[in-house]
Amino acid sequence: MGASLGGLHAITTMLQAIPATLPVPILIVQHRGTTSDQGLVAVLQDQTALKVVEAEDKVPLAAGTVYIAAPDYHLLVEAPGEVALSTDAPLRSARPSIDVLFETAAEAYGAGVLGVLLTGGSADGASGLARIKALGGRAIVQDPATAECATMPAAGIAAAPVDYILPLESIGEYLVTLVEGTRV
């Protein structure tokens, strides 16, 4: 999942609808300052039953856990079930970059990945969403009309054949039904 401007509200709204029993991990890139502390993890943990942690290099992924990209590090999926951190150059002026997460997740999981692009003020995430679709994954984008800043979701819709364009309040619940296979 990726978000920028308005992302805290969007992410908390979405996570509140997801039970702790979700059988997959959730990886999130939220654009934030390079000196951010663990405050984002604490705020999110207070809003969800899922376990929320800041991603660490070479840590295996666990179901029912939300991994937040560390400030000033790209979050990559190196292989199915494992993440890595990188200090490679910012992409589209962002580190962490949503595109980096989406592209590496698509490479690792192929058709098994779900990309979720939320509110934001840049086009970061759009090309990564296109890569997810190119490798058979599914794409969910927040309806730009419900986004605090419509630039990012609109860029995602323009870049990829998006599967679902949903209002913010519906994304978490819909994500659960997709993961659990109760709706396609």
pLDDT digits (tens, 9 = 90+) for 23-54: 999 999 999 877 777 789 999 999 999 999 99
In a domain, 182, yes or no: no
Question: Hey, what are 15's tokens?
Answer: 């996570």
Confidence of residue 19 (pLDDT cuts 50, 70, 90): very high
In a domain, 157, yes or no: yes
Question: Hey, what are 141's tokens?
Answer: 């984008």
Which run of H or E residues covers position 98?
A: helix 98-109
Q: How far is CA 58 from CA 11, 21, 55, 76, 100, in A?
A: 24, 23, 9, 10, 16
Q: Catalytic amino acids?
A: 4, 31, 124
Contacts of 27 (CB under 8 A, 6+ apart): 1, 55, 61, 66, 67, 69, 75, 77, 83, 101, 105
Q: What is the pLDDT of residue 93?
A: 87
Question: Hey, what are 80's tokens?
Answer: 């199915």
Q: What is the pLDDT of residue 10?
A: 97
Average pLDDT, whole number, for the chain?
A: 94
Q: What is the pLDDT of residue 38?
A: 72
pLDDT, one tens digit per residue, over 53-107 is 999 999 999 999 999 999 999 999 998 899 999 999 999 889 999 999 999 999 9
Q: What's the rounded Cα separation, in Å, for the pair 158 and 63?
A: 31
Q: What is the pLDDT of residue 182?
A: 63
In a domain, 145, yes or no: yes
In a domain, 183, yes or no: no
Q: What is the pLDDT of residue 136?
A: 97
In a domain, 146, yes or no: yes
Contacts of 89 (CB under 8 A, 6+ apart): 95
Number of domains in the chain: 1
Q: Specify the CATH number for the domain of residue 30.
A: 3.40.50.180
Q: What is the pLDDT of residue 85?
A: 97
Q: What is the pLDDT of residue 184?
A: 44
In this structure, what is the dihedral angle of CA atoms 71, 124, 1, 137, given to the nearest 10 degrees?
A: -140
**Domain range spanning residue 91?**
2-177
Q: What is the pLDDT of residue 32?
A: 86
pLDDT surpassing 80 at residue 164: yes
Q: What is the pLDDT of residue 181?
A: 83
- Residues 153, 140 contacting (CB under 8 angstroms): no
Closest CA to 97 of 69, 121, 63: 69
In a domain, 118, yes or no: yes
pLDDT, one tens digit per residue, over 108-127 is 999 999 999 999 999 999 99
